[in-house]
Structure 1
Amino acid sequence: MKKDVNREEQLEIDYARYGVCRRFKYLGSIVDDDNNMETEVKSRIALADRCFYSLQKVLGRANISKKTTLKTSNTITKPVLLYKCETWSRTKRMEHYLSVFENKVFRKIFGPVYDVDEQAWRRRHNHELRELAD
């Protein structure tokens, strides 16, 4: 059955009419009328990204070790990223989004590596990032 987009849906209770809301934010989480968690995950990633980049002035200093930067980043940005994640219905696409964000943070913390064979700087591979983060 095709939805009529132009028709305004309303609920009437005791002579009071209430409109239908397609999306709203409740306790920091986005609730959709079709229960699409992808919107919520993208929103959480954007918030965690802002949180991580707000820490760069402090964590980007040369006298702070990579280990301390990683621990501090995990302590502050992961709760922002994973808030209410237990209510998400996990899909491969959402796991991919989260993995891409995590690799982005690791690349920012650990930086590029000089490849002796190529005689040039290159981005670290995902498996190298995972080894450094563990």
Structure 2
Amino acid sequence: MVISRKQESPKCDIFINKVKLKQTEKFKYLGTIISNNGKTNREISARTAQAKINFQKMKTTMTNKHISIETRKRALQCYIEPVLMYGCEAWTISKQIQNKLEATEMWFLRRMLRIPWTAKKTNERVLNEANKRRSLVRTIRKGQATFLGHVMRRGKLEHLLTTGKF
């Protein structure tokens, strides 16, 4: 795979034992989708879908009104959000992606509070009802900053690539 910003990906021929390797547009490496345009839209969409599937598997617990909302929020933070945020340190988050992540966060809260999609409740009202503030994007940004700090302190190849000082 060749990672490039160009619309048309450059062709690259690599041979191993006289056998040409197939060039691909995307592949999964260590559970993360890597695409040839360097964007993370596919990865974030896949992570969002997987987190929603896991939420649905835990639906009886996550929507149970006999369990306090604080306990359910903690379960969300412990069991669902890590699935969503796996590999988030390497994500490129545009405003569109940020909106999608915030919508996903609200999707979880609305289901936990059993608020139907037809209810005309604003996100602020839902957040107040859950006694919560938006935290998903902030947590991702904090993880990215922490990772960047590790890269910058390490001083090896990653540091050279990040700073461009060869």
**Same-fold status (TM-score > 0.5):** yes
TM-score by length of 2: 0.65
Q: Quick check: which one's helix share is greater?
A: 2
- The answer to whether residue 136 in structure 2 is matched with residue 133 in structure 1 is no
RMSD: 2.5
Count the aligned residue pairs.
124
Q: Which has the larger radius of gyration?
A: 1
- The answer to whether residue 39 in structure 2 is matched with residue 42 in structure 1 is no
1:72 alignment partner in structure 2: 75
TM-score by length of 1: 0.79
Whether contact under 8 Å (1:111, 1:124) holds in the other structure is no
Percentage of matched positions with identical amino acids:
22
1:116 alignment partner in structure 2: none
2:121 alignment partner in structure 1: 124
Q: 5+ unaligned residues in a row in structure 1: which ranges?
A: 114-120
Supply the distance in 2 between the matched residues of 1:93 and 1:81 (Cα, whole angstroms): 17
Q: 5+ unaligned residues in a row in structure 2: which ranges?
A: 1-5, 134-166
Change in Cα spacing, 1:2 to 1:55, as seen in structure 2 (3 Å) is: closer
Moved over 4 A (4+): 1-4
The letter of the residue matching 2:108 is V
